[in-house]
A and B are shown apart, each in its own frame.
Chain A
Amino acid sequence: MDGSADQHLVAIEVTVNGESRQTTIRPNLLLVDFLRYELGLTGTKEGCSVGVCGACSVLVDGKITTSCLTLAAMTDGCEITTAEGLADQDQLLPIQQSFIDHGGFQCGICTSGQVIAAKALLDQNANPTEAEIKDWMMGNLCRCTGYYGIIRSIENAAGE
């Protein structure tokens, strides 16, 4: 590769948590790094970096997406929602309040991804069964709760 490759930049326009952003980035910038380091949205965490743990889950055009395996450049024209974009000012979504009320987290590192994944589930299926919750949430690992608190949180938020 010639040295000029480092100079490659690409212009993107995305809507992040309802706010339109036009910016110029290096093409090899991952979406998770764009959110955390360019926009300061550190609610999205990076865990495994290989798409297994789900900590970096965000919504891209409403679909649950692995931000550590997505280039920011690939999301040009898309609408991105992170954990910071769920609440309306201080008014939490029912799914967020339910995680607080039903022990859906302990240390918190996976929580942004868990809540994003749960939001994506409830958007598609307002009243999921326990089996559907387990199947959907399989890709979001948690090493504190034993998952029961997470499942309970989603069950209690369903239909609200």
Chain B
Amino acid sequence: MENFEFHAPRALAEVYALLDEHEYDARLIAGGTSLITFMKQQLVQPDHLIHLGKIDALRGVEIVDGEMVVKALTTYRELETHPLVLEHAPQIAEVFSHVATMRIRESATIGGGLSQGDSAQDGPGLWLLLNARVVLSSNNGEREVAMNEFIEDYFTTVIEPNEVLTEIRIPLPPTHAGFAYSKFLPRSEDDYAAVSVGALTTLGTDGKIASARLTLGSVAAIPVLVPAEMLVGQPTDTDLINAVAESLRELVDPLDDVRGSAAYKTDMAVVFARRTLQSSLQRAIR
């Protein structure tokens, strides 16, 4: 790893000033579990590394106006165990309890993971499923970016060099909604998924599908939202579930790698999408 100048500011204003000064020569670091591996491979070689660990304003989970606000330095482990998450959005805790290993979850942060812009991580697909918004802050104030516009390409986000990802805002899923999230893990339990699928559905009082949302991770440069509106008004055993799952073939573009060929991953995405939609519908309360 190349050497660099290390900064450990204690306030966000100092971070903004450092970013304004060093722009593209600076990188932010939080838990480091992802960025350090990139730096070891010299894929990233910052001249200035700005450690956010001493900025307490970036810690915590709150409920504000029916939304969960997760500050950037919240670790995966904190999200997995936080009383507010378990009470208001246990789906999030469920997903993060199966990310990597305990040791990584104790360090990896929500903001750090999301800033990597890696659709193979679990966060991006989940945040897209839940229609979350990312808050980017700088000396110019703050702006909100919808999750479907946040990641532009492999490891590329809309974060400008002067901006810090300070929090994400997640609308709470309705308590009667059915949620399911599944990963195809052909190598090991703690690996990145070959395919990950999230589904969120609700039923009307007539038992018919009232809403359906389906997202995919690991199968394209960015997390994928699969249109599922055709399910609305249909019974929960509708054949259209197969049609929605089959339609994703046109939306994905997975890589051939050690977890499988692109063709195999596409087939598995269809299977996992169908099963995950069915699971979510079984969990939805009319």
Interface residues of A (CB under 8 A from B): 1, 5-6, 8, 10, 26-28, 30, 49-52, 54, 57, 63-66, 69-71, 73-74, 76-77, 117, 135-136, 138-140
Contacts and interface: CB of A to CB of B under 8 A. Distances in A.
Nearest to B45: A1
A27 B102 contact: no
A10 B102 contact: no
Given A10-B6, A139-B190, A74 B103 contact: no
A69 B36 contact: yes
A15 B29 CA distance: 22
B53 interface: yes
B49 A27 contact: yes
A63 B54 CA distance: 17
A57 B53 CA distance: 20
Contacts of A54: 101, 103
B47 A138 contact: no
Interface residues of B, number: 29
B104 A51 contact: yes
A138 B37 contact: no
B36 A71 contact: yes
Contacts, number: 89
Contact of B36 (A70, A76, A140): A70
Given A66-B104, A139-B101, A1 B2 contact: yes
B155 interface: no
B264 interface: no
Nearest to A1: B47
A136 B102 CA distance: 6
Nearest to B100: A139
Given A5-B47, A64-B106, A70-B107, A26 B100 contact: no
A50 B38 CA distance: 10
Given A27-B3, A139-B103, A49 B36 contact: no
B8 A66 contact: no
B1 interface: yes
Nearest to B106: A63
A65 B3 contact: no
A101 B2 CA distance: 44
B211 interface: no
B45 to A, nearest CB: 7
B5 interface: yes
Contacts of B5: 5, 8, 27
A10 B8 CA distance: 10
A157 B162 CA distance: 51
B40 interface: yes
5 contacts: A64-B103, A66-B103, A71-B49, A73-B8, A138-B102
B104 A71 contact: no
Contacts of A49: 40
Contacts of B3: 5-6, 8, 26-28
